[in-house]
Amino acid sequence: MTRDGYPPRHEGPNHHLVFFPLYPLLSRATGLDVFWAAFLLSNLCCLIAAVCILRLAGFEAATLFLCSPRSHFFVYPYSEALFAAALAASLLLLRSRRFFAAGLAGAVASATRSPGVAAAVALFAEAFAERRARALLAGLVALGGIAAYMWWCHVAQGDALAFMYLQSYHGRTLSLLGPFHAFLAFDTDPDYYLVAIAALYVAIRLIRRTPAWQWTSAAFLVLLPLATGTLAAMIRYQATNVPLIIGVPSLVQGRRFWIITGMCLTLMAFEAFLYGKGIGHF
């Protein structure tokens, strides 16, 4: 996509549409070789995300982010690192009450991946919980990234929601019963269940223990992938669930936190080894 863009509409179902455009556009803008551009962009964004998380919740949260079971994807030519950086920046700016800047960072997140809508969810939650009109407007700004992509899909592909419909080819269809189907399908490895259950547990614990913007966006980023009816890629989704990650140190402290972090790091190393051998899963 960085080199050639999206295939023309007349060539049939464009499966590339499920991948949002900002990451390949930024890689192309560097003018570097495709591989090196993506490598440098991902590593830079990973660093930015870690710094933002450090300022949001401290050293433990930043460490957990870097040691999560799918954190090795942050240095690969995937959009996870850019998404995490934009979302973390948006949440940091929100907490500082710099709402317009938070909305702009949220727009970057929603132009990178569809779960970037979580930035708007956080801003809307802040608006309703604290009666802040500026946060409401910033939430609309945060939707600008995905809105721009939908407009392009409408103009170039004839369907503003083409990227959603094509998810069905990957076995993903949004449904209210999706979470039940995901857990009862038994079509993924045990580590997916472990991460999904742990994420649900933390999301529930964060309710009433954290500001509305944090627990609502954390829950959104847990429930959205579950609503597709599969646990596939659930570990990658939760690796970028910034509001969830920054809440973990407040729930698990001291020695238990570092034991859990060590387990995550061990699983990440194992997953990276499998992926490098071409037998890893996503």
Contact 247, 212 (CB under 8 A): no
What's the pLDDT tens digit per position in 235-281?
889 999 999 999 999 999 899 999 999 998 998 888 888 777 776 65
pLDDT at residue 193 above 80? Answer: yes
pTM of the model: 0.91
Residue 9 counted as domain residue: no
Please report how many Cα atoms fall inside a 13 Å half-sphere around the Cα of residue 153, on the Cβ side.
Answer: 24
Confidence of residue 207 (pLDDT cuts 50, 70, 90): very high
Q: Confirm if 117 and 216 have CB atoms less than 8 A apart.
A: no
Q: Is residue 4 part of a domain?
A: no
Q: What is the pLDDT of residue 2?
A: 59
Q: Is 7 contained in some domain? A: no
Sorted by sequence, the CB contacts under 8 Å of residue 255 that are 6+ apart come out as none
Contact 115, 224 (CB under 8 A): yes
Rounded to 10 deg, the angle between the 212-226 and 190-206 helix axes is 150
Q: Which helix (H) or strand (E) holds 190?
A: helix 190-206
> Which has the closest alpha carbon to 107: 95, 126, 96, 93?
93
Q: Considering the domain boundaries, does residue 180 fall inside one?
A: yes
- pLDDT for 150 equals 93
pLDDT digits (tens, 9 = 90+) for 38-62: 999 999 999 999 999 999 999 999 9
Helix 80-95 / helix 34-57 crossing angle, nearest 10 deg: 30
Q: At residue 166, does pLDDT exceed 70?
A: no
Place of tokens 């960085």: 2
Is there a domain that residue 34 lies in?
A: yes
Whether 1 is covered by a domain: the verdict is: no
Q: Number of folded domains in the chain?
A: 1
CB atoms within 10 A of CB 129: 13
Within-domain flag for 2:
no
Query: How do residues 58-99 score in pLDDT, each as one tens digit?
Result: 999 999 999 998 888 898 888 999 999 999 999 999 999 999
DSSP string for 232-249: TTHHHHHHT-HHHHTTHH
Contact 34, 234 (CB under 8 A): no
Q: Is the residue at 202 inside a domain?
A: yes
The amino acid occupying position 116 is G
Q: What are the pLDDT digits (tens) for 94-120?
A: 999 999 999 999 999 999 999 999 999
pLDDT above 60: residue 8: no
Range(s) of the domain holding residue 148: 18-276
